[in-house]
Amino acid sequence: MTMPPVLQIGEFPAAVQTMIGERFALRTLAEVDADDALRARIGAIVTRSNYDIDEALIARLPSLRIVATSGVGFDRIPVAYARERGVVVTNTPDLLNAAVAELTIGLMLALLRRLPMADRFTRSGAWTRGAFPLGSSLAGKRVGIVGMGRIGREIARRLMPFDVSIAYFGRSRQALDFPYFSDVIELAGWSDVLIASCPGGRETRHLIDAAVLDALGPNGMLVNIARGSVVDEAALVTALARNAIAGAALDVFEHEPLADSPLCGFEQVVLSPHIGSATHETRLAMARLMIDNVLAVFETGKGITVVE
């Protein structure tokens, strides 16, 4: 089978880039924009879930058959518009669940035990001048999970040995042993730690807003490993500034990469650069599935993990 040229949007880790380059004739957006003949031949787009694919780009590619993203999120791809044009959209679900859940636990512990601050305290020599401030235990905490999908359930499974109480909010009650809240504000009021692990998109934009943060309260903490759009960052900054919540740990942001944000000025905030799935093992597995989705569309007309 002769594959048409493939448009790459965004950057991949070096090992993943090599793998993709061995399978496809990759082209950049600049090359495609400069060459009408090339643009007319592009058959696929490969990308990561933190890059935007807009309707205008899809409309300019008459031979496009698939947009394959390496990631679980697809809120930055116009799925309905692609479907109207006969373009398949695929993602890479399940493969990153464990890695994201692991990072969630790490962020939570880093926040509760003030690990970034402790690292700076030790390196600076401040330890020689006195004791480090006390942190908080995870054991005994009430942890609310906003979005009990695949990743939410993996987080819950990893939390159980820590002797915590778990409850959740979602679109519907599931057959789980954890208490269910139909209102996210009520869940926040119950929680010591609130974890956002729901999908992004219009339905969840600013789901975690000022009212939710007020309900979480001055001793409550927020962890977001979902999408930056899920949390109203302006409201979060205000809540942190007036000590309306105790702290936050964030792996995703409304605007990425994060730059010149007030969030960087708070000691009670732990920040990581959208690395939920960023392990060698996970990214390679995701890339393989992304490649297989593209090949499957051109070989059989159907993707493997199609976004419905």
What are the residue numbers of the active site?
227, 256, 274
Block residue for tokens 């990214």: 283
* Strand, helix or coil for residue 100: helix
Region of residue 201 (phi > 0: left; psi between -120 and 50: alpha; otherwise: beta): left
Would you state the structure tokens that stand for residue 205, as one six-digit string?
């934009």
Q: How far apart are the first and last CA of the chain?
A: 27
Nearest Cα residue to 228 out of 258, 197, 252: 252
Backbone angles phi, psi at 178, to 5 degrees: -90, 150
* Strand, helix or coil for residue 98: helix
Would you state the structure tokens that stand for residue 292, as one six-digit string?
């297989």
CB 144 within 8 A of CB 152: no
Block residue for tokens 């694919």: 53
CB 154 within 8 A of CB 98: yes
Nearest Cα residue to 288 out of 2, 23, 28: 23
Would you state the structure tokens that stand for residue 192, as one six-digit string?
């010591």
Q: Is 105 exposed, middle or buried (0-12, 13-18, 19+ CB in 10 A)?
A: middle
Would you state the structure tokens that stand for residue 264, as one six-digit string?
């960087």
* Strand, helix or coil for residue 25: coil
Rg (CA), the chain: 21
10 Å Cβ neighbour count for 75? Answer: 17
